[in-house]
Structure 1
Amino acid sequence: MKLKTTLAAVLAATAIAAAAQAEGLRLGTEGAYPPFNYIEADGSIVGFDVEIGLELCKRIGEECTIVAQDWDGIIPGLLANKYDFIIASMFITEERKKQVDFTDPYYLAAMTHVVPKGSHITDFSNETLAGKVIGAQSGTTQADFIESAYPDADIRLYPTQDEVNLDMASGRIDLQVGDMLPMLDWVSKSDDGSCCELAGEPITDPAFVGEGVGIAVRQEDNELREKLNAALAAMREDGSYKAINDKYFDIDVYTMK
């Protein structure tokens, strides 16, 4: 009986391992951060992050499925094995490196202020913005920045960037801080974003924008991290990264030039 039980356990474990291998890797992203990751009308998740992630999967010989996860739970989801890596425009910061490891950056980034057109807001000191309503997405480095830079403002944090944009377009907040590339896309290409414009100098403080934007993996998954790094370097070398980049942006976001 003991032999049969042991054999059954081995067969079950083998079946589970085989099923996991057949499933391939799971790519975690937010699905609410255009043009990097967003959900189409048919329910598919698309965007720059997703295309880069799927191309990386091909190059490391994996079939990948996409898992959508709200931003506030995206790192806990990785640690709970809900997916195998995160590609969701996540800044590489020292605080996040306490929980996860990152690949090399797959693009650079800066943050920016966004103000209503005609607002004449040009001074972004705490003194000038005291009492102003300033918005950002919760759980982001943008949220960290406004809470640090504007202690005398009325800070409003939102679950998604779309909700920040909606309140901005509706006049319920005076200004917001967001990632520069999505904000540029929003004000220049969307109807509701036509209300607003980028203002001030780009925010590039390493304390908030970190070392660039990376792919997060669990700290024990060093082999996966190295495979992704090698595949990313190959994409840069053979032009496939540029082909994806040019579908979404007028500049090379890897170098911001």
Structure 2
Amino acid sequence: MFKTLALAATAAAALAAPALADPYKVGIAAEPYPPFYSPDSSGNWSGWEIDFADALCAEIEADCVITPVAWDGIIPALNTGKIDMIVASMSITEERAKQIAFSDKYYDTPTGVIALKETEIQPSAEGIEGAYLGVSVGTIHETYARAHFSEAAADIRSYPTVDEELQDLAAGRIDAVVGDMLALMPFLESDAGEACCEYRGAVESDPSILGNGVGVGLRKEDTDLLERVNSGIAAIRENGTYDALSEPYFAGFDIYGS
């Protein structure tokens, strides 16, 4: 009888607080976000953030599987157990920290503006006046643009992916794009980007919106995993792994930031 009761209690506890699955499901946005992550024709994902996740999981001795999730549902997916961590260029903001826990930052890059060459657009409210702006939906860049540029801009248009907003920029359907400069640089270095557009500079800092770097997103109750992830980030920074995996993507640029 006591054995039966003990087993029943154990089962009840497991239902009340399910253990993390192993392998861990590492959530990324299902929408391509090069050079951080993008799929090939077979659906295999690659990019800097995939390499970072692989290195982090190896350091904490965990089996991990990349799990694409729609960006606008990625935090609910984490909190309902569909994924176990978010490694998807998610900035650490006060608003998000109300819903999930964040690791220490693992990279930090500026939010900037690229614009059509024939315009005189600059990364300020005055410099944006009358412009048609593109942003990626559900991002801190959209939040920033709507907070700082909505009164000056002619229109702010939200796109499901960075690729779609850049296509409209190259076609002249919008005048400028506000976004993460490392995500926008491959376009600027392409033939299409060089032909149409220029980098006009970083926007003015607003930590309440843009956050304090990018961190791994975790459930608030997963305190042990948070500690392991923070230790893993520190270890790969110290042992040279971080610099080695960053060099092929960002040669000569410190993606970690100051």
Asked if TM exceeds 0.5, the reply is yes
**5+ residue gaps, structure 1:** none
Q: Where do 1:60-139 residues align within 5 Å?
A: 60-116=60-116, 118-139=117-138
1:204 equivalent to 2:205? Answer yes
1:130 Cα deviation after fit: 3.4
Q: Where do 1:209-228 residues align within 5 Å?
A: 209-228=210-229
Indicate the SS of the match to 2:88.
strand
Give 2:256's aligned residue. Answer: 254
1:201 Cα deviation after fit: 3.6
Q: AA paired with 1:217?
A: L
1:132 Cα deviation after fit: 1.9
Task: Give the whole-Å Cα distance in 2 for the aligned partners of 1:61 and 1:162.
Answer: 35
More helix by share: 1
Task: Give the whole-Å Cα distance in 2 for the aligned partners of 1:23 and 1:143.
Answer: 35
Give 2:49's aligned residue. Answer: 49
**CA offset digits 1:15-49 (Å, max 9, x no partner):** x9xxx877411100014110011112221111111
Task: Give the whole-Å Cα distance in 2 for the aligned partners of 1:140 and 1:127.
Answer: 23
Task: Give the whole-Å Cα distance in 2 for the aligned partners of 1:238 and 1:81.
Answer: 32
1:11 Cα deviation after fit: 11
Task: Give the whole-Å Cα distance in 1 for the aligned partners of 2:20 and 2:228.
Answer: 17
Task: Give the whole-Å Cα distance in 1 for the aligned partners of 2:27 and 2:228.
Answer: 17
Q: AA paired with 2:85?
A: F
**CA offset digits 1:116-169 (Å, max 9, x no partner):** 1x2242444434533321110011110011101112320101112122112112
Task: Give the whole-Å Cα distance in 1 for the aligned partners of 2:21 and 2:97.
Answer: 30
**CA offset digits 1:157-196 (Å, max 9, x no partner):** 11121221121122111111010111122211x3433332
Structure 2 vs 1, CA of residues 10 and 248 (structure 1 numbering), >3 Å: closer, same or farther?
same
Q: AA paired with 2:186?
A: D
1:12 Cα deviation after fit: 8.7
**5+ residue gaps, structure 2:** none
Indicate the SS of the match to 2:106.
coil
RMSD (Å) for aligned C-alpha atoms? 2.7
1:28 equivalent to 2:30? Answer no
Task: Give the whole-Å Cα distance in 1 for the aligned partners of 2:103 and 2:11.
Answer: 34
Contact map agreement 1:110 1:203 (CA 8 A) in 2: no
Q: AA paired with 2:247?
A: D
Indicate the SS of the match to 1:42.
coil
Give 1:144's aligned residue. Answer: 143
**CA offset digits 1:62-119 (Å, max 9, x no partner):** 1101100121111111112111000011111111101011000001121000101x22
Task: Give the whole-Å Cα distance in 2 for the aligned partners of 1:67 and 1:123.
Answer: 38
Contact map agreement 1:71 1:160 (CA 8 A) in 2: no
Structure 2 vs 1, CA of residues 204 and 128 (structure 1 numbering), >3 Å: closer, same or farther?
closer
Structure 2 vs 1, CA of residues 120 and 222 (structure 1 numbering), >3 Å: closer, same or farther?
same
Give 2:230's aligned residue. Answer: 229
What TM-score results when the alignment is normalised by the length of structure 1? 0.87
Contact map agreement 1:35 1:47 (CA 8 A) in 2: yes
Structure 2 vs 1, CA of residues 22 and 85 (structure 1 numbering), >3 Å: closer, same or farther?
closer
Task: Give the whole-Å Cα distance in 2 for the aligned partners of 1:108 and 1:180.
Answer: 10
Contact map agreement 1:143 1:157 (CA 8 A) in 2: yes
What TM-score results when the alignment is normalised by the length of structure 2? 0.87
40-49 vs 215-224, which moves further: 40-49
Structure 2 vs 1, CA of residues 172 and 230 (structure 1 numbering), >3 Å: closer, same or farther?
same
Contact map agreement 2:90 2:216 (CA 8 A) in 1: yes
Count of matched residue positions in the alignment of Structure 1 and Structure 2 = 250
